[in-house]
Amino acid sequence: MSGTLYMAGQHLRFFKVRSAILVLGLTLTIALPVASHLIISKYGDALKSRADSTPYVLGMRGNRFDLVLKALYFGDAQIDAITMEDVNQVDRSDWATTIALHLQHTAKGRPIVGVSETYFDFRKLSAHHPNIRMELGDVVAGAVVAEELNLSVGDRILSDRQTLYDITGQNPVNLKIIGVLKPTGTADDRVLFATLETVWLLDGLMHGHPNAKHAGTEDPHRQGIAYHEVTPENRSSFHLHAYPAEIPVSAAIVIPKSEKGATILEARYENKESLQLQNCAQVVDEILSMVVQIKTFFDAYYLFVLIATLLFVGLIVALSTQLRKPELDTIRHIGASRWFTVRLQATELLMIVAMAGVLSLAVTFIGLQIADHFLLVG
């Protein structure tokens, strides 16, 4: 058997290009469907897990998929704002509790999520430095944001202008990092969290008396961008200039206190013209059902690719056998049996399949690692 393995290996080494083409073709044929299946399965479970833990989302009536995905995963979808009064009405009904979300601002391209501190308990988030308390002008960085931007406690980050060419609009705010969250492998790792008052300051609804050097002049260390900065000395001077009915939030997580409360709230918002209450699990299930339909199509496509690849391999083996006929005849003439030549070719094919299998595992593993880095959705 060792002789067969040696001769098979030497033959594959001699015909490097042909062997590499066969291994690469089989590797891609095996790895692509396996990797796509594992990624879809893994992130389908992650999507469901986060949706199942978030009963309802309240938002402005419109695309329900955009609303739920924005509220759960802080994506790029644009949704219309509701008001704090809309959220407070749910709290006053005594059928549910709410967590307001403000999702309109960014800093260095990363979302700034305005929340109350109950959000951290709701998502079971904790920081490396416990007992942190966000105040006006403070932010807590998710683990991935902190790593990518090299942020640590005490650093500052400048909020982005909402409109690049609106020089008359609200100046950016120089926000202070007061904590870094422990990694969770979810969308919370990729955002910066702030209080609702802080994001209302970014909206221009909070007014006060920032330091003069940061409140309308150009700072040479900030590339000519005038900005506001909240400090312990001026924090108390900021106050909100808006009526509750006008204070904007993007959406609110709604947590019913009972099944009866959930039923009543669903009925109450079913026919509202301006607002919608969406069951997160149902919406995500609907999205995943569409993904499964697409996956079924690609599974059938991969099956045809596999059949075509096997036919291609079979053709190469058949042609190779014809081209190697003088070589195999010589092997038999020097004393080898016909069974030996069959075993030799079978060993070569098995070695190619084995190498393709190992490479497929490697490609699949790398694909999962890349997906883990870019798709934090849990």
For position 22, what pLDDT does the model report?
A: 82
Q: What is the pLDDT of residues 246-297, one digit of tens each?
A: 889 999 999 999 999 899 999 998 888 889 999 999 999 888 888 777 777 7
Q: What is the distance between the alpha carbons of residues 142 and 246, in angstroms, rounded to a whole number?
A: 30
Q: Residue 255 corresponds to which tokens in the numbers above?
A: 């947590």
Q: What is the distance between the alpha carbons of residues 219 and 209, in angstroms, rounded to a whole number?
A: 17
Q: What is the distance between the alpha carbons of residues 184 and 65, in angstroms, rounded to a whole number?
A: 24
Q: How many CA atoms lie within 13 A of 190 on its CB side?
A: 18
Residues 6+ apart with CB under 8 A from 88: 244
For position 217, what pLDDT does the model report?
A: 45
Residue with tokens 């079913």: 270
> pTM of this prediction?
0.74
For position 82, what pLDDT does the model report?
A: 93
Mapped onto helix, strand or coil, the DSSP state of residue 58 is: strand
State which H helix or E strand residue 288 sits in.
Answer: helix 280-323
Mapped onto helix, strand or coil, the DSSP state of residue 261 is: helix
Residues of the chain with pLDDT under 50: 167-168, 213, 216-224
> Is 30 exposed, middle or buried, given 0-12, 13-18 or 19+ CB atoms closer than 10 A?
buried
Specify the DSSP class assigned to residue 169.
S
Residues 6+ apart with CB under 8 A from 148: none
For the chain, domain boundaries: 2-47+288-374, 82-249
For every residue of 92-138, DSSP letters joined together read HHTSEEEEEEEEEEEETTEEEEE--THHHHHHT--BSSSS----TTE
What sign results for the dihedral spanned by CA atoms 105, 371, 142, 98? positive
Residue 315 backbone class (left: φ over 0; alpha: ψ -120 to 50; beta: rest) = alpha
For position 222, what pLDDT does the model report?
A: 45
For position 123, what pLDDT does the model report?
A: 92
